[in-house]
Structure 1
Amino acid sequence: MGTVLDSHFLALTAIVTVGYQSLFFLITALLRFDKVTDFAGTTNFVILAILTLLLKGAWHFRQIVLSLLVVIWGLRLGLFLLMRILQWGEDHRLDEMRNNLTKLTVFWILQALWVWTVSLPITIVNASERNPSLKPQDVIGWIMWSIGIVIEATADQQKLMFKNSPANRGKWCNTGLWKISRHPNYFGEILLWWGIFVSSTPVLKGAEFLVLFGPVFLTFLLLFLSGIPLLEASANRRFGTLEEYKIYRKRTSPLIPLPSALYERLPVWFKASFLLEIPLYRRGVHDDGLLN
C-alpha cells in the first residue's frame, strides 16, 4: 500500500489474524463452545497493535498513543465480554449458527476480515517512517475515541447491571443510555474507531488512505450484518408481540442517542433516511407503525 514495508506489515497481520481466528473457530466448531468468540476478536486487535509497534520499533509518539488506545479498548471489551458470556451462558446472536457449520464459518470469516480491516489504520501508522508534528486531526480523533469508549463502556455496564437484577428477568434493557438508543454500545464503538482513523490521517499518504475501508467496513458490519440486525431479530422474536416493546421501539433511536420525546416526534421519512429506522431491523415485529 505504498511501500514494501507497508506490504510486509499487511501480509504479516493478515497471516496472524487468519491463524488466530482459525484456532478459535476450530474450538467453536469441534467443541460447540462459542463463549470465546468475542474474546478472540477483541484480543486479536491487541495482538496486532503490539506486534506492529514492536516490529517497527520507531516508538513515535503518535504510534504509541494509537497503539495504547487500541490495547485499552481491546482488553476492556474482551475481558468484559468474556466475563459476561461466562456469567450469562449463551450469546443469542449465534442461536442460528451453533448447529450450522456453513453459517458458523461465514461468521468467523467475517470476524477475521473485521479484525484485519479495522486494524488497518494502526497497522499503517506503526509501519510508517513518517512522523509529522501533532495536527488538529490527532486531537479530534483522540476526543472521538474518548467519547466513544466512555459511551460503550457505560452502556455495557448499564446493561450488565440491568440483566443481573432478578426483577428484570425476561425484559429488554431500557435504562440509562438504553433509554435513548437501542444500541448505544455500537454507537460508541463506531465513534471510537472513526476516531482512530481520523487521528491516523496525518501519517497517511496517497493509496494509504484506503485504510478508510477499515472504519467503513466496521460500520457496515455492525449496521447491516452481524451487529444490530442479529440483536434486533433476537429481541423482536422474544418481545415483538408486547405492546410495551413496540412503544419502546417507536420512542428509541436504533443507534444515535437522542431524547425519546424528540425521536418520537420526528417524521417517519427522516428516521428511515437519517437515523437507520429501516425494515431490516423490524423482522419479528408486527404492526408497530414505524413505517406507516
Structure 2
Amino acid sequence: MGTVLDSHFLALTAIVTVAYQFIFFVITYVFKFDQVTDFAGSTNFVILAVLTLVLKATWHFRQIVLSLLVVVWGLRLGIFLLMRILQWGEDRRFDEMRGKLAKLIVFWTLQAVWVWTVSLPLTVVNASDGGGSLKPTDVIGWTMWVFGFLIEAAADQQKLTFKNSPENRGKWCDAGVWKYSRHPNYLGEILLWWGIFIAASPALEGAEYLVVFGPVFLTLLLLFVSGIPLLEASSDKKHGHLGAYRFYKKTTSPLFLLPRGVYGNLPGWFKAVFLLELPFYSRNLPKEEVTVSKLEESPRTAKRK
C-alpha cells in the first residue's frame, strides 16, 4: 500500500466525516433538534466502513469481516441511542449548549474528530490489499470484538429496562452487568475497538501502526474526558448523600467486571493502580461519614431526597 493511496483515503474519510457531521450540526442548531446527535456519530462509522471497503474493492476476507463488525456495531448503537432519546425526550447534555453557536461548533467538531480518529485502523486496512492470509491476531481481535459487543449491548439494554421501571425512578442502575462494573458499556466499547485494531494489525506495516492512536484516543476519551468522569460527577451529585450509593461505589469496579465481594475487599492503592479507580472519579462525592444504618440501605429502597 502506497503513501499516496493512504493520504487519499485519509483525506476522503476526513471530508466525508466533516460533511456528515455538519449536516446534523445544522439540524441541531436551526431546528433545536438534538435527538440526532448520537445517531449521527454512530452511523458515521458505518458510512466510512462501507465507503472505504467499496472504493478499494479488493474484497479481502479481513477487510470484509472488519467492515461488517463496524457496521453491526454502528447500526446497533445508533438505532438504540436514537430510539432511547426519542423515548426520553431532550438530550440533557445540550441544556447549556442549545442555541449557543460556539459551544455547538466545539461539540460537533470533537464528534467529527472522534469518528475519524477511532475509524483509522479500519480505514487503513480497507485502503490496503488486505494484508495477506489470516493470522492468530485476526481471531484474537474478532473474539475481543464479540465480547465487547455483547457486554455493551447487554449493558445498554439492562440500563434502559431499569430506568423505564417506575419503581427505579431516581435510582442508580445496579442490575445485570452493572452489578460488576459502574460503566460496563464503556468497557465493552473499549474492548471491541481494541479488537478491531488487533485484527487489523496483519495489514499494517511501518508507520501505519500509528493508527493505534484510534483505540488509544477512544480509551483516553472515555477514561479521562467525556466518559466516566462526567457520569461519575453527575451520579455523585445526585446520590452521593446516600450511604447505599457510597457503598455501591466502594464495592463496584469503575470499569472491569469484578464481583463486589472481591473488589470491595481490595486495598485502595491496588484499585487505583491496576483497576482504574482514579481519585478524581470521586471528587464530587460529598465529604461525609457513612454510618452503619446508611450502609444497610439498599439501592432498591433508597429514595431521592
TM-score, length-normalised on structure 2?
Answer: 0.91
User: Contact 2:125 / 2:200 at 8 angstroms: preserved in 1?
Assistant: yes
Q: Is the 8 A contact 2:184 2:256 kept in 1?
A: yes
Answering whether residue 10 of structure 2 is matched by residue 10 of structure 1, we say yes
TM-score (norm 1): 0.95
Aligned partner letter, 1:153: A
Report if the CA contact (8 A) 1:2-1:207 is conserved: no
Whether contact under 8 Å (1:124, 1:208) holds in the other structure is: yes
CA 1:67–1:88: 2 relative to 1, 3 Å: same
Correspondence 1:20 to 2:24? no
Q: How does 1:125-164 map to 2 (within 5 A)?
A: 125-164=125-164
Shift of 1:101: 4.0
The match for 1:208 is: 208
Q: Name which of structure 1's ranges 269-278 and 166-175 shifts more when overlaid on structure 2.
A: 269-278
Post-superposition offset of 1:225: 1.1
Q: Whole-Å Cα distance in 1 between the matches of residues 261 and 288 of structure 2?
A: 17
Q: What are the equivalent positions in structure 2 for 1:132-281 lying under 5 Å apart? A: 132-281=132-281
**1:289 Cα shift?**
7.6
Range with bigger deviation, 114-123 or 229-238:
229-238
Residues 134-171 of structure 1 show CA distances to partners (whole Å, capped at 9, x for unaligned) of 10000000000000000000011100110111111111
The Cα of 1:100 is off from its aligned counterpart by 4.7
Residues 85-106 of structure 1, C-alpha deviation per residue, up to 9 Å, x if partnerless? 1111133444443365444332
Conservation of the 8 A alpha-carbon contact between 1:163 and 1:169 = yes
Letter in 2 for 1:138: D
For the Cα contact (< 8 Å) 2:56–2:127, is it kept in 1? Answer: yes
| 138-147 or 223-232, larger mean C-alpha shift | 223-232
1:2 deviation in Å?
5.1
What secondary structure, in the 3-state scheme, does the structure 1 residue paired with 2:50 have? Answer: helix
Residue 186 (structure 1) shift: 0.5
Cα gap change, 1:90 to 1:276, in 2 (>3 Å): farther
**Deviation digits for residues 107-150 of structure 1 (CA, Å, limit 9, x no counterpart):** 22221111001100110111002431110000000000000000
The superposition leaves residues 169-218 of structure 1 with CA deviations (integer Å, 9 ceiling, x where unpaired) of 11111111001101000000000000000000000000100100000000
Q: Report the AA paired with residue 79 of structure 1.
A: I
Q: 1:108 aligns to what? A: 108
Structure 2: 5+ residue stretches without partners: 291-305
Measure the CA separation in 1 of the matches of 2:50 and 2:72. Answer: 11
Q: Partner of 1:34: helix, strand, or coil?
A: coil
**CA distance in structure 2 between the aligned counterparts of 1:254 and 1:144, rounded to whole angstroms:** 20
Deviations 1:205-254 (A, max 9, x none): 00100100000000011111111122112212211212211111111111
CA distance in 2, matches of 1:273, 1:100: 40
For the aligned residue pairs, the C-alpha RMSD in angstroms reads 1.7
Residue 43 of structure 2 corresponds to 43
Q: Distance in 1 between matches of 2:45 and 2:226?
A: 18
> What letter matches 2:274 in structure 1?
F
Say which one has the larger Rg.
Answer: 2
Is the CA contact 1:252–1:260 (under 8 Å) kept in the aligned structure 2?
Answer: yes
Deviates more, 1:102-111 or 1:197-206: 102-111
SS at match of 1:201: helix
Structure 1: segments with no counterpart, 5+ residues: none
1:66 and 1:128 map into 2 onto residues whose CA distance is 13
Q: In structure 1, what is the Cα distance between the partners aligned to 2:178 and 2:124?
A: 35
Aligned to 2:253, what secondary structure does the other structure show? Answer: coil
2-structure distance, mates of 1:274, 1:256:
10
Aligned residues between the structures: 290
Q: Which residue in the other structure is 1:58 paired with?
A: 58
CA spacing shift, 1:130–1:289, aligned 2, 3 Å: farther
